[in-house]
Amino acid sequence: MKYLALILTLLFASAANATVSAAFSTNLTSGPAPLFIHFDATASTDTESARPFHDLEYIWSFGDTSPGNWTHGGVTSKNSDFGPIAGHVFETVGSFTVELSVTSRANEANDTVTVEITVTDPDTVFAGALTTCFYTDSVGDNCPSGATEVQSDEFDVKIDGMPAGERYLFKCGNSFLNDSGNGRHDFSGVGPSIIGAYGVCTGSNRPIVYSGFRLGNDSTDTTKLTIMDLDINSAISTNKVISTSWYIENILVLRVDAVNINGIVNMSTGDATDAGKPTTHKYNGFIDCDIDVGTAGTTAAFFGGMNHGAVMGVNLYGVEPNGEHALRWTHARYSLIAHSRFADVIAEKGPITIRDIVHGGNTTHGFINGETQWNQVSFNLFPGSEIDGQTVTVGHNETFSEGGYIVDGNTFLKGTYTERYNNIETPNATVRYNNYEEGPHLFKLHADAVATFEEYDNCLSTDLDSCSRLIEQQSATATTECKC
């Protein structure tokens, strides 16, 4: 309950010593529902801190009364969040006031800033022939008025021929086939575009499609695409829900469940450089997805680069047979992993690894050494099992000191496998407010790593020695600051 108590304190903090300036940027401020917004508050400053990304407390209110609750993690409501990086999906039409409150933990100085988000009606944006409803038995109810109605089970043919700027809806309770044997189908172009469902959909009644998606078609940017409310059973198990062959931006994958598939995304990024983009794919969100990799996996379920992106509310499991990580970012900036569950990873691999060019990255990906920074891993559940080993690895980089990582509010449950590390391989990491079952669970600090363990929940006493006992191995060139 320590973290909750801290939150309540900050909500009523005084702004008597106004050294703090709150600021944030977004990818979008308007668009059709569902609208994914990425929030980046790294421009916030504190005249008394050289590390505002780490030292300030950030509280978000999204002004959205109908988003529901997260299944995993320590924060329940989707209408609020904490930390310098945040994301939210607005699914209700209307205007919303998003507020960020930033507070200095040094002197309780506070500042707030707001932005208006406008969400438009997709039935208006995709009116008439811009929407097509597909069904296999009868058109049924809830196909939007004026939409084109097509009886077909050929999911592969329809997606390959879908124009950008339109909405394709597949009837709930129907199955749509992949007769081509390709297993993934091309889509590209500038949106907004939606591939989703219509009718009365429940968790067990969504459209079943036997195909993943390849975005880009080897030469074309794909932007402002939402894929939502589908159950995917890939015809070819080496495919992912999304593979990229060119630059993608503002892609939302929402409530997509998948089985017999290699994972959720392979964002290869050499193509981003080919397309003349300065950085890798931006502003993409993967929200509320359930992915059972099983025996289908051969690579990390999340793989590639991430720039101003978010993985939130994802339940990812069954990764163990493929011998890889659940999530492996080859490089990442201003990105968030939150409110998710990562399970069933073999002992030699960890559920999450975030890397930089100097360790496991690739200079052809459009990134340079040291660009992996300003990332946040918060409020996730790592359930542990007999096959679990190390959990979260942050860093694999040796070249930056400005941004770094925050790992906070996560819950780590003990598996029967005894070697259990958080690998800290970065010169700027803050680890705080995490909960560890049957602790202490141990950390490994690599060469030149710098980690701050602040108000650590697993302190065995007020003595700082209890914090140092959590660190199983520390390189001679690594430094640690414990603030239990």
Residue 162 vs residue 402, higher pLDDT: 162
Most confident of 18-32, 343-357, 392-406, 432-446: 18-32
- When pLDDT is cut at 50, 70 and 90, the band that residue 456 belongs to is very low
User: Which 8-state DSSP code applies to residue 261?
Assistant: S
- The full DSSP string for 404-458 is -EEEES-EE---S-S--EEEE-SSSEEEES-EETTS--EEEE-TT-EEEEES-TT
What share of the chain has pLDDT > 90, as a percent? 35
Q: What is the mean pLDDT of residues 137-142?
A: 84
Residue 460 vs residue 316, higher pLDDT: 316
- When pLDDT is cut at 50, 70 and 90, the band that residue 278 belongs to is very low
Q: 442-445 and 45-46 as β-strands: parallel, antiparallel, unpaired?
A: unpaired
Residues in contact with 12: Cβ distance below 8 Å, sequence separation at least 6, in sequence order: none
Decide if 394 contacts 428 (C-beta within 8 A).
no
pLDDT of the residue at 271: 39
pLDDT tens for 161-206 read 889 999 999 999 999 887 655 556 678 888 999 999 999 887 778 9
Q: Which residue has the tokens 């196909």?
A: 143
Residue 446 in tokens: 């690599």
DSSP H/E element including 250: strand 248-254
Composition of the chain by helix, strand, coil, percent to 5: 10, 40, 50
In angstroms, the Cα distances linking 362 to 6, 263, 367, 423 are 40, 21, 8, 21
- When pLDDT is cut at 50, 70 and 90, the band that residue 397 belongs to is very low
Q: What is the mean pLDDT of residues 371-391?
A: 73
pLDDT of the residue at 241: 79
pLDDT tens for 77-116 read 999 999 999 999 999 999 999 999 999 987 789 999 999 9
Q: Which residue has the tokens 């959205």?
A: 64
Most confident of 47-61, 112-126, 291-305, 361-375: 112-126
For 374, counting Cβ atoms within 10 Å of its Cβ (0-12 exposed, 13-18 middle, 19+ buried), the class is buried
- When pLDDT is cut at 50, 70 and 90, the band that residue 3 belongs to is very low
